[in-house]
Structure 1
């Protein structure tokens, strides 16, 4: 895979407050450049949700209402997040979730395309019993020594997802092949089905 052929791409991860639909409590956006995660230009934000964090969500990511009390509201950071995301491609694990939540919080934003490492893993490793982020980390054994924070925090999960994407991309020769394997139907960037030939 020639990584220099890739368009601008950020691996994103979000954490929510546990409600449905969720309020965001953390967003991470990690650029991938030349086949490496670029932590020097990454963005990470904590935000105080409109509605309290549920006990279950706090147990998962460790972000309690007390921890978030003095963080900015979403309205205070939305423009910064939108500016970093721009019109780049994004990648996430089970990307429908990140795309849906970010789109709800950034109505004017639309990425160039959406790669899903969950979908990509099912094509790349068709015989795995599970395709969770933890299962893929165990299978691929990426180097996470430089990952910030810990599992279930947005910065860690974005870094882990970036390393998984880079590892799986090595199984494909071109960006177009990667897109065909990794973009879910109906999301931005999905290859358009070939039109049936007509007589006219």
Structure 2
């Protein structure tokens, strides 16, 4: 894989408040350039949601309503997030979730495409025992010890997913081959089948 051929890729992770549909309580974005996460350009922020964070959500990510009481609200940061992601391919683990949350919070926004490391892992390691982020980090021999933060927080999970993306991409020869394995049907960037010119 020649990583220099990649367009702009940003790995994202979101954490929610447990409501349905969820409100954002944390968001992180990690750019990937030439096959490496760019730590100096990572964006990460807490978000004050309009509804309280449920105890169930707090048990997952550890963020409480008190933690976000002085954080900016989404209307205060939404346009900055839109500008950061505009024109980029986004990647995430189980990307349907992150793409869905971001799309709901950014009306009219559409990334250049969506890469799903979960889908990519299933294509790359079809016999894996599990496809959770922790299991795949172990399977791929990725050392997350230098990743800032902790598991289930947005900055850590986005950075870990970026390392996973880079590792998995190395098993695919070209960007085009990567798209065929990593972009879920129905999401932006999914390769469209070529029309058969012999058919009327």
Same fold by TM-score greater than 0.5: yes
CA contact (8 A) 2:15 2:154 kept: yes
Match of residue 2 from structure 2: 2
Q: 1:70 aligned to 2:77? A: no
CA distance in 2, matches of 1:36, 1:199: 44
Match of residue 80 from structure 1: 80
1:140-151 matched pairs, under 5 angstroms? 140-151=140-151
Match of residue 126 from structure 1: 126
CA distance in 2, matches of 1:84, 1:125: 32
Match of residue 181 from structure 1: 181
TM-score by length of 1: 0.97
Alpha-carbon deviation of 1:199? 5.2
Q: Which runs of 5+ in 2 are unaligned?
A: none
1:114 counterpart SS class:
strand
Match of residue 48 from structure 1: 48
2:29 counterpart SS class:
strand
Q: 1:100 aligned to 2:100? A: yes
CA distance in 2, matches of 1:70, 1:77: 13
CA distance in 2, matches of 1:145, 1:71: 28
Given the superposition, is the C-alpha separation of residues 69 and 179 from structure 1 closer, same or farther in structure 2, using an over 3 Å criterion? same
CA contact (8 A) 1:47 1:68 kept: yes
Q: 1:158 aligned to 2:126? A: no
CA contact (8 A) 1:30 1:41 kept: yes
Match of residue 136 from structure 1: 136
Match of residue 34 from structure 2: 34
CA distance in 1, matches of 2:98, 2:195: 30
CA distance in 2, matches of 1:143, 1:105: 33
CA distance in 2, matches of 1:185, 1:191: 8
Given the superposition, is the C-alpha separation of residues 169 and 199 from structure 1 closer, same or farther in structure 2, using an over 3 Å criterion? closer
CA distance in 2, matches of 1:100, 1:132: 19
CA contact (8 A) 2:137 2:143 kept: no
Q: Which runs of 5+ in 1 are unaligned?
A: none
Q: How many residues in Structure 1 have an aligned counterpart in Structure 2? A: 200
